[in-house]
Amino acid sequence: MIHLLLQAGGAEDKLDIVSLIVHASSVAKGTLVLLALMSIGSWFVIGTKWWYLARAYKRSVNFVELFWRTQRLDDVWKATENDPPSPVSEVFRAGFVELAKLRKRRTEAGGDASAPETHIGDIESIERALSRARTMAVTEMENKVPFLATTASSAPFIGLFGTVWGIMNSFRNIGAKGAANLATVAPGIAEALVATAIGLVAAIPAVMGYNYLSRRIRVISAEMETFTNDFLNIIRRRFF
C-alpha cells in the first residue's frame, strides 16, 4: 500500500508543469522557448506602442485645438517648434513648408504665377506634401505592430507542432515498452498539452493587442485625414 502511494506521488510530481518542461525533449523545449520569446516580444510591443499612441493622440488633439484657436498659420508654426511633435502637427508642418516654398516661388515669378494652371499645380504640390507626411506618420505608428499579427497567427500552430511531437513520443514509448498504460502515455500527452497552452498564452494577448492598436492607429489616421482636408480648404481660400 505504501509503495503504491509513493509511486502515485512520484507520478504526480513527474506530471508537474515545471517537471514536464524540465524533462521535455529538446524539440519541445525549443518550441516552448520560441513561444516564450514571442510572448515577451508581444507584450513589449503592446506596452511601447500603447504608450506611443496614447501620447500621439493626446498631442494631436491639443494641436488641433491650438490650430483652430490661432488665426495665423505663422503663429501655429511657431507653436509647433516648441511643442512635442504629433502626427497631425507633422502633417501641418509638411504642408506649411511646401506652402512657404510655393509662395516664395510665386513672388519671384511675378505675374506669371497668377494663372489658374499654376494655382492648380501649387495646390497639388501641397496635397502631395501632406500625403507624404501622413504616410510617414502612419508607417511610424504601424512599426512593430505586424509582429503581433505574426504571433497571433503562428503561435497556435507552433504550439500544435509541440503537441504533435509530444503525441509522437507517447506512441514511441508505447511501442518501446509494449504497454499502453497511463504511466507510459501520460507524460507525453501532458507535455503536448503544455505546448498547446503556451501557444494560446502567446497568441491571445497578441490578437487583443493587435486589434486595440490597429483601432487606435485608424483613429489617429482619420484625424490626420480630416485635418488634411481642412488645411487644404483654408489654403485654397486664403492663398489661391
pLDDT digits (tens, 9 = 90+) for 185-202: 666 677 778 888 889 999
- Quote the number of domains for the chain: 1
pLDDT digits (tens, 9 = 90+) for 40-92: 999 999 999 999 999 999 999 999 998 888 878 888 888 888 878 889 999 99
Residue 173 pLDDT > 80: no
Which candidate, 141, 113, 134, 177, places its Cα nearest to that of 51?
141
- Name the grid cell of 211: 486589434
Residue 148 pLDDT > 80: yes
Residue 30 pLDDT > 50: yes
Task: Using CB atoms within 10 Å of the CB of residue 71, give its burial: 0 to 12 exposed, 13 to 18 middle, 19+ buried.
Answer: exposed
Q: Could you give the angle at the alpha carbon of 103 between the alpha carbons of 101 and 109, nearest 5°?
A: 100
| Structural domain boundaries enclosing 129 | 25-239
Q: What percent of the chain has pLDDT over 90?
A: 40
Instruction: Please give the pLDDT value at position 11.
Output: 46
Which candidate, 173, 216, 184, 190, places its Cα nearest to that of 61?
216
pTM score: 0.79
- Name the grid cell of 5: 502511494
210 falls within a domain: yes
66 falls within a domain: yes
Q: What is the mean pLDDT of residues 113-141?
A: 79
16 falls within a domain: no
Instruction: Please give the pLDDT value at position 178.
Output: 64
3 falls within a domain: no
- Name the grid cell of 114: 497668377
Give, in order, the Cα–Cα distances in Å from 24 to each of 31, 169, 179, 181, 185.
10, 10, 21, 20, 14
Which candidate, 82, 29, 31, 39, places its Cα nearest to that of 59?
82
105 falls within a domain: yes
Band the pLDDT of 120: cuts 50, 70, 90: low
10 falls within a domain: no
Higher-scoring residue by pLDDT: 43, 16: 43
pLDDT digits (tens, 9 = 90+) for 155-164: 999 988 888 8
- Asked if residues 96 and 77 have their Cβ atoms less than 8 Å apart, the reply is yes
Instruction: Please give the pLDDT value at position 17.
Output: 63
- Asked if residues 33 and 198 have their Cβ atoms less than 8 Å apart, the reply is no
2 falls within a domain: no
- Asked if residues 200 and 159 have their Cβ atoms less than 8 Å apart, the reply is yes
Band the pLDDT of 236: cuts 50, 70, 90: confident
182 falls within a domain: yes
- Cα 95 from Cα 127, distance rounded (Å): 7
Q: Chain-centre distance of CA 10, in angstroms? A: 45
